Every structure is written in structure tokens, then in C-alpha cells.
Amino acid sequence: MSSDASDASVSTTSTSTQEVSTNLQVRFKTEEGKLLLLLPPESNHGDMESPTAMTWTEIWQQLKQRLKAGERFWQPKTEVELIAFDRLLDTRQLQEIAEALLEVELKLEKISTSRRQTAVAAATVGYSVEQKSVLSTLSQTPVEKVQPLAEPLYLQMTVRSGVEIRHPGTIIIVGDLNPGGSVIADGDILVWGRLRGVVHAGAKGNSKSVIITLQMEPTLIRIAEQVARGPEKAPVQFYPEVAYVVDQGIRISRAKDFAKIYR
């Protein structure tokens, strides 16, 4: 690739070294019209000889250098997805990254991470979040067998318009899901508040997943492959309700009635 094709033995070694080196750097990558910002992972699975993970100070210095070097190549107001892998980031660090991107007219929109704490921090600040398993973020090799669900993601917040929360397990939200916001879970979805946005439980095809909320007013509701729209008129009274799949599609019942049938 970047090595001289006339020296095959040198080319093989150089490419391998380059791949390891690249994984330990802050990188920008364009994919399907999006600009991805990739941070080096904290752990390098399977490579016992890899250097010690980079510190936040080292990452920050590299990021500033990359932004300065590539500033003239990016279109203003380009949206950026941060691929954080298994790196632990708090709200302060996420805001610092967002501010650094704004200085070159880039806009941080979404955080992809395998760390629960990073996902919570990103959602708290108001970014769209996709939490992935460590294997899926650190490896490009697809895993054939079905993976167990991740631990539930617990958020105490309001999911506002434009924010998407995605998690490979159950999502529990103590707060409201506003119109324009969306929650996508491989497991169940529990919204302890008003559910007025888009929800998709059992996103990987589990039709046994359920959606539970105190006030069910979804814009769109999905469980596995089943889809239903919310009622055109808001109910006069609200009760805790459960959405689940039956032979005819998605059914919504009062929580107390659902408990009698399925306990």
C-alpha cells in the first residue's frame, strides 16, 4: 500500500507496523458521507506487546494537531461521530472535544462507545448515543453466534428532540422521551415518564421484548419487526402501559392487565 511494491518482504512488515501504529492514534475518517473521529482504545485485546494506553493529555494534544492539519479540508458545519471504543470519557472531556471541533466549524453529533459511563455522560450532555459491545467496537470481524444482551443502560434525563439513544441491551429512562427523540434497544425499553418519541425494542429481532411507560404517546413504536403508530388523539386518562407483540401485531395494555396475563 504505502510501502514500496518492489520490496515485498519489507512491505508486509511495514504494513503490519503501520496498522498497529494507526490504532494508537487519534484519527479522522470519512465513511458514507459522515466524518468519524476515532480515539485509540484503552485496551488492545490480544496484543500483549502493545504500548501502554494513551493518556487523555496525549489524546488531547493529538486531536489539536489533527484539527490544525486538516482544517482546510473539511466543509463547514460537517457533522462528526465520535468513535470512543472502550475509552472512558466524562462530560468535561466530551465538551472539550466538542469545543475543539467547533473551532474548525465541525459539529459533534453522536457518540459511539462500549463504556456505560461514557454513554451516560454523552446522553447527559445531549448527544445521540450508540453503546456497542467491546468486541464489536474493537474488532472488524463479525461474530457469528448470538451474543447475550449487555447490562441495562440506566439514564436519569429527558431525551430531547434530535437525540438518539442506542444500546445492545435494555434501556431504562427515568424521565421523558420527547417528540423527535428516539430510543433503540436490543432488549426492553422502560420510560418512567412520558413516551412521545420513537421507540424500538428488540432491535435485533427479539419479539419477546416489551416497552413499558407511565404515559404511552409514541410517534412510532417498533418491537422486533413489528411497527405501529401512536394514536392520533391523545388519551383522556393515562395509566402505566405495556406494548408487546401478539399474533396480530403490537398490542398495548394497561400494566396491571399485562401482569395478570403474563406473570
Q: Is 164 helix (H, G, I), strand (E, B) or coil?
A: strand
Residues β-bridged to residue 201: 223
Which band of pLDDT confidence, cut at 50, 70 and 90, is reported for residue 12?
very low
Which band of pLDDT confidence, cut at 50, 70 and 90, is reported for residue 77?
confident
CATH class, range 1-142: alpha beta
Query: H helices within 36-188, ranges in order?
Result: 56-70, 91-103, 116-125, 134-138
Using a cut of 0.75, tell me whether the model's pTM lies above it: no
Alpha-carbon gap, residue 228 to 167, rounded angstroms: 21
The x, y and z cell numbers of residue 136, run together, are 464489536
Question: At CB < 8 A and 24+ separation, what contacts does 20-27 make?
Answer: 20/47, 20/50, 24/50, 24/51, 24/54, 25/62, 26/59, 26/62, 26/63, 26/66, 27/66
Residue ranges covered by each domain of the chain: 1-142, 149-263
CATH class, range 149-263: mainly beta
Report pLDDT digits (tens) over 161-211. Answer: 999 999 999 999 999 999 999 999 999 999 999 999 999 999 999 999 999
